[in-house]
Amino acid sequence: MDEELLLMRNITKNFPGVQALKNVNLTLRKGEVHALIGENGAGKSTLMKILSGVYQKDGGSIVWEGKELELHSPMQATNAGTSIIYQELNLMPNMSVAENIFIGRERKKHRFILNEKDTILEAERYIHEVGLNIDVRTKVEELSIAKRQMVEVAKALSVRAKLIVMDEPTSSLTDREIAILMDVIRRLRTQGVTVVFISHKLSEVFEISDRVTVLRDGECIDTLVTKDCDESQLIQMMVGRPLTDIFPKSEVPIGDTLLEVRNLCAGKLVKDVSFELKKGEILGFAGLVGAGRSEVMRAVFGVDRLTSGKIIIDGQTLRYHRPSESIKKGLGFMPEDRKLQGLILGMAVRENTTLASLGEISNACIINSKKEREVSLNYIEKLSIKTTGIEQKVNNLSGGNQQKVVIAKWLAIKPKVLILDEPTRGIDVGAKKEIYALMGKLAAEGVGIIMISSELPEVIGMSDRIVVMHEGCVRGTLDRKEASQEAIMNIILRENMRKV
């Protein structure tokens, strides 16, 4: 039981501008369930991606069953005996359960011909082992998320994995399904398989894990035996860090209500959401990934259809709920994925900056090129976008500068309300600071700003008020004075405690 399966020593990983992991140590024993917890961006996923060979470590060593291991590709990690089940499952929905289990390792006869009988028989054995009772010929798309997860586990068993990593496996499961998954994990433990269990739900951590490791800001805080610690201790370890002065939040007089959202419902992830935003206010939206924050903003802006609710901007109720209408009313929306949703990568900086405000620089639908150049030059200077010129294609810019181009596009419409969804994701510290400064400046000019962020320090540092969302609902609103990571995590985690 105490025999060590894996030792990760002094693991370091740098991304451009960020040190994602700083000398992280992790020891996994054979047949234990080891929980890995921490905030978004604490380094859990990065660590696991190094373990699975997706990323290469910059420093440190990995010892697997007593032998030093250099991982260069996911294939090597799989061959060694690790298996990772990601949040977004890696199954082919159009293929059967059995085919999925043996994908890439198809059972064959005579070298080229698939052996269907063996495939089905073996698949049935593994499916049985995880306690699932389904026909292995069923197509994966017909299964619930929970069952798909079990299929992933069965697939891991079929490669005789000694270590199975589950990245937030319960995030999209119902309570009953979670119970089944817990049973499977216990069964794996008795078979001597080591399980790494990544979760935000402390209740589950207490229920299932033998030991728990807490990561924060890319550092390993500590590894404890689960039954020897309590919840508040873990929360403190997860968030306990002083706020640095990188958030230049200036006190701005808060004015009248600019945006009012009432009883908004849209899709599956937005349930009866109401909030309001005032002039000069920065309203933070906190919550876990998948809490429905982006979905709320997409519905407010009119990208996604809303099923019910009312949106009032500066006294005017939106009627059509289309982006074009929202823009006309002075709403700007910077989506979370700048490459997929924010930019037209093949276009120049000039074209991207003016895309939402072409009406302003045109006469009778004809673009005034001189004005257009002036506008984009103006924003390049204002936001100090580093580019060779306005004709530079945006896909040649760095992440931070790309983000600034998206912001420039929305500033060009002279917005009253600006919604920023993960404005600092994937950009370096310097650019982050600039974006914070800009937000402060805009607020001072009377713009109302909504900021969604998964980085709690950022939300706390920048916001006048914080709306905490969980599972599509607003769970609470915190004032700047009462806002702290503990308070936010409490709102979210208590909710989970209550549920189980």
Partner 1 sequence: MELNGKSISNKTSILNRVKNSSSLGDIIIILVMCTLLTVAVGNKFLSIDNLISVCRQFSFYAIMAIGMCCVIITGGIDLSVGSVFAFSGVVTCMAMTDWKLSVFSSVLIGCISGLAFGFLNGLFITKLELPPFIATLGTMSIARGLSYGITGGYPIGSLPDSFKFIGLGYIANIPTPIVLMIVLAMVFSFFLRKTIAGRWVYAVGGNEEAARISGIKVDAIKILVYSLCGLMAAIAGIATAARLGVGQSTAGQGYELDAIAAVIIGGASVSGGVGNVIGPILGAAIMGILRNGLVLMSVSAYWQQAVIGVVIILAVSFDKLRNKKK
**Cα distance between residue 437 and residue 452, in whole Å:** 16
Residue closer to partner 1, measured from CB, 1 or 365: 365
Provide the minimum distance between the beta carbon of 330 and partner 1 in the complex, in angstroms, as a whole number.
12
Residue closer to partner 1, measured from CB, 240 or 359: 359
Is-contact 331 313, C-beta < 8 A?
yes
Residue closer to partner 1, measured from CB, 218 or 415: 415
Maximum C-alpha span of the chain: 78
**Cα distance between residue 296 and residue 271, in whole Å:** 9
Provide the minimum distance between the beta carbon of 344 and partner 1 in the complex, in angstroms, as a whole number.
4
Residue closer to partner 1, measured from CB, 11 or 413: 413
Provide the minimum distance between the beta carbon of 290 and partner 1 in the complex, in angstroms, as a whole number.
20
Q: Which two tokens stand for residue 326?
A: 């929202």
Q: Which residues bind partner 1 (CB under 8 A)?
A: 301, 303, 322-324, 326-328, 333, 335, 340-347, 351, 355-356, 358-359, 362, 365-367, 369, 373-374, 377, 381, 389-390, 409
Owner of token pair 């994602």: 20
**Cα distance between residue 329 and residue 416, in whole Å:** 8
Burial class (CB in 10 A: 0-12, 13-18, 19+), 141: exposed
Q: Which two tokens stand for residue 163?
A: 């270590």
Length of the chain: 500
Provide the minimum distance between the beta carbon of 347 and partner 1 in the complex, in angstroms, as a whole number.
6
Is-contact 466 286, C-beta < 8 A?
yes
Residue closer to partner 1, measured from CB, 113 or 340: 340
Provide the minimum distance between the beta carbon of 371 and partner 1 in the complex, in angstroms, as a whole number.
12
Residue closer to partner 1, measured from CB, 299 or 468: 299
**Cα distance between residue 157 and residue 127, in whole Å:** 9
Residue closer to partner 1, measured from CB, 328 or 475: 328
Strands (E), 169-269: 194-198, 211-216, 219-225, 257-266
Owner of token pair 């997409």: 298
Provide the minimum distance between the beta carbon of 335 and partner 1 in the complex, in angstroms, as a whole number.
6
Q: How many Cα atoms occupy the beta-carbon half-sphere of 246 within 13 Å?
A: 16
**Cα distance between residue 112 and residue 162, in whole Å:** 30
Provide the minimum distance between the beta carbon of 322 and partner 1 in the complex, in angstroms, as a whole number.
8
Provide the minimum distance between the beta carbon of 94 and partner 1 in the complex, in angstroms, as a whole number.
18
Q: Which two tokens stand for residue 92?
A: 């082919």
Q: How many Cα atoms occupy the beta-carbon half-sphere of 165 within 13 Å?
A: 24
**Cα distance between residue 142 and residue 93, in whole Å:** 8
Residue closer to partner 1, measured from CB, 232 or 369: 369
**Cα distance between residue 449 and residue 466, in whole Å:** 12
Residue closer to partner 1, measured from CB, 83 or 354: 354
Provide the minimum distance between the beta carbon of 404 and partner 1 in the complex, in angstroms, as a whole number.
16
Residue closer to partner 1, measured from CB, 113 or 364: 364
Burial class (CB in 10 A: 0-12, 13-18, 19+), 44: buried
Provide the minimum distance between the beta carbon of 241 and partner 1 in the complex, in angstroms, as a whole number.
35
User: Helix crossing, 231-239 with 485-499: angle to 10°?
Assistant: 140
Amino acid at 487: A
**Cα distance between residue 489 and residue 356, in whole Å:** 37
Residue closer to partner 1, measured from CB, 7 or 345: 345
Provide the minimum distance between the beta carbon of 285 and partner 1 in the complex, in angstroms, as a whole number.
18
Rg (CA), the chain: 25
